[in-house]
Amino acid sequence: MDTSIIAFLAKLANIVFLDLILGGDNAIVIGLAARNLPSSTQKKAIFYGTGGAVLLRIVATIVVVWLLQIPWLLLVGGILLIGIAYKLLADNDEHADIKEGRTLWSAVRTIIVADAAMGLDNVIAVAGAAQQSIILVILGLLISVPIIVWGSTLFIKLIDRFPWIIYLGSAVLGYTAANMITEEKNLKPFFEEHPTVRIVFIIVVIAAILGAGYMKKRSDQQKRNNENSYS
């Protein structure tokens, strides 16, 4: 198989994986927004709401892909993605209350608005992983979003059963973030001249994210254990 095709498929798989890792909350929002509708209407709300969310996500990601071509914004995007990778491991907040829709179109509106509000991390991650390829953006989202919607329950159960999936996702995000930074036009000549420094930089970023996230989760667990012992 042509190496260019293999590289394309690898990037596509990376985008789908990142969207699945980051998309659990969005799937929960969809379920909450449609939970009070009749079962027949629920399917329509999920279908229309998901369709609108996908279109909005594609447009937003294409805009971000274009913006990342502006000098220094690739660096900014990489730094933001490092924060998102850390948050994926460290954030233990419960979901905010989502107002359920009482009618089909109110549920659809809630799904689209909530997905847009919560989808910034997905947009930045996918834009970075796509490396300025609009085709990869569209294909990746068309594949991953339906999986998120209809397979979210299974995927969430897998994450609960195999917590290392979250660490793997954070590592992939860390790699994507570090790679974005090294691809910044103003920094790229330096990293091309010093390839070893580039490799070390990527490894350090991934290790720092995983280490900081692990320590935060461990600290939170100790606090909960202390609270339980006093109660």
CA distance 190 to 195: 9
Tell whether the model's pLDDT for residue 129 goes beyond 60: yes
Tell whether the model's pLDDT for residue 225 goes beyond 60: yes
Residue in 2, 30, 12 with CA at minimum distance from that of residue 148 = 30
| Predicted local distance difference test score (pLDDT) of residue 94 | 46
| Predicted local distance difference test score (pLDDT) of residue 96 | 46
Single pTM value for the model: 0.70
Report how far apart, in Å, the C-alpha atoms of 153 and of each of 21, 36, 112 are.
Answer: 13, 18, 20
Sequence-ordered list of residues with C-beta below 8 angstroms from that of 55, at least 6 positions apart, any chain: none
Q: Which range (23-27, 41-45, 153-157) has the least confidence?
A: 153-157
Q: What mean pLDDT is predicted for residues 214-227?
A: 84
Mean pLDDT across the chain, nearest whole number? Answer: 79
| Predicted local distance difference test score (pLDDT) of residue 116 | 66
| Predicted local distance difference test score (pLDDT) of residue 210 | 94
Q: What percent of the chain has pLDDT over 90?
A: 14
| Predicted local distance difference test score (pLDDT) of residue 114 | 66
| Predicted local distance difference test score (pLDDT) of residue 95 | 46
Tell whether the model's pLDDT for residue 150 goes beyond 70: no
